[in-house]
Amino acid sequence: MTRQSADRIVRVAAAQLGPIASDEPRTAVVKRLTAMLSDAAGRGARLVVFPELALTTFFPRWYTEDVSGHDHYFETEMPGPETQPLFDAARDLGVGFALGYAELTPDNHRYNTTILVDEAGATVAKFRKVHIPGHEDDEPWRPFQHLERRYFEESNEGFPVWRAFDGIVGMATCNDRRWPETYREMGLQGVELVLIGYNTPIHYAPDPGQNALQGFHNHLCMQAGAYQNGTWVVGVAKGGTEEGVESLAQSAIIAPSGQIVAQAVSTGDEVIVADCDLDWCRHYKETLFDFSRYRRPEVYGRITGQKGVIEPD
Ligand code: CDV
């Protein structure tokens, strides 16, 4: 089947971030984000995707007895006074964005959250990270901590999708991208564009043998998710060496074919763009991955009925 031209071509930008220092003020970070928003808009982008926890350093690398001691890394309102300029710029430039940040709710819940903002600067969707990796307690044997499970609650809101930007848009955050269920949940709602931000340290303390494969695994799971669900996937890193910890970059925009059509080449602030033809999804959704015709949910009971592995006797 050949690719056909269509009206629903959305130029999407992945706005990769380099490191954010622990003492970098929000206002300085928002200036960096706004500069990338403006760059992307100048290149004709309609939607700009920023990474996970894009307003602060990746603070779960540090242990604190009382998590509220790190509340300064969290947002209690969005937009707030320091983030409002980003929303204003989006409205003035007529470009939407997705932004990851740490959310502290009025009733004291903490989530690893991403919002989707439209071209008028209005928040149209909110996603809270479902798969929270790492550990709850201090593990001093590690060269640095990954305490997301101490700082964030798992969201039970799942993977909704929204009609936005002339298509069906979903979001996921970092570790969510490694799980096939993430993409399938959205695929079953017809998703056409999945936006994913990530902070992935190169060093994986529980099994350092995986360090050299970080780049491969990053693209492997997102490319498979795109292809197996006939959807675009935009994966955006906060990369480079932040507070002594090296993180993966290699942000990528992936077509429904599973092919990478744009990839960042640096480990710093960098904008890449691609024209995402949302109608291209149909080539996969209506052929090899015609779910209505070929899926067999009656034999997939373990997927939702069971959590861990049950081996045979
Ligand atoms: N921020 C993340 O979710 N990071 C995880 C690491 C800890 C493995 C990831 O899946 O990239």
Instruction: Evaluate whether 227 touches 280 at the Cβ level (below 8 Å).
Output: no
Residue 287 lies in a domain: yes
Residue 1 lies in a domain: no
> Ligand 1: does its nearest atom lie under 6 Å from the Cβ of 134?
yes
Residue 313 lies in a domain: no
Of all atoms in ligand 1, which is nearest to the CA of residue 204?
Answer: 8
Tokens of 275: 């024209």
Distance of CA 8 to the CA centre of its chain: 22
Q: b/e for 133-153, b at 16 or more Cβ within 10 A?
A: ebbeeeeeebebbbbbebbbe
Torsion of CA 160, 163, 164, 165, to 10 degrees: 120
Beta strands, E only, 105-166: 110-117, 123-128, 161-164
Of 129, 238, 270, 276, which is the active-site residue?
Answer: 129
> Ligand 1: does its nearest atom lie under 6 Å from the Cβ of 146?
yes
Residue 3 lies in a domain: no
Place of tokens 């990478």: 260
The pLDDT > 90 percentage for the chain reads: 98
User: 122: domain CATH number?
Assistant: 3.60.110.10
Ligand 1 centre distance from Cα of residue 206 (Å): 12
d(CA 142, CA 306): 31
For 107, the 3-state DSSP assignment is coil
State the 10-residue block means of pLDDT for the chain, 313 residues long. Answer: 67 99 98 98 98 98 97 98 98 98 98 98 98 98 98 98 98 99 98 99 98 98 99 99 98 98 98 98 98 98 98 97
What is the pTM (predicted TM-score) of this model?
Answer: 0.97
Instruction: Assess whether 52 carries a catalytic annotation.
Output: yes
Ligand 1 centre distance from Cα of residue 207 (Å): 13
Domains held by the chain: number: 1
d(CA 65, CA 167): 44
Q: How big is the CA angle at 29 (ends 27 and 32), to the nearest 5 degrees? A: 115
Tokens of 206: 């529980």
pLDDT tens digit string along 225-260? 999 999 999 999 999 999 999 999 999 999 999 999
Instruction: Assess whether 129 carries a catalytic annotation.
Output: yes
Contacts of 87 (CB under 8 A, 6+ apart): 79, 117, 121
d(CA 290, CA 284): 7
Alpha-carbon distances of 272 from 172, 226, 269, 280, rounded to whole Å: 19, 18, 10, 20
Domain with 71, as residue range(s), is: 9-300
Of all atoms in ligand 1, which is nearest to the CA of residue 134?
Answer: 7
* Ligand 1 pocket mutation, candidates 144, 199, 219, 220, criterion most atoms within 8 A of CB: 199
- What rounded mean pLDDT belongs to the chain? 97
> Ligand 1: does its nearest atom lie under 6 Å from the Cβ of 56?
no
Ligand 1 centre distance from Cα of residue 174 (Å): 6
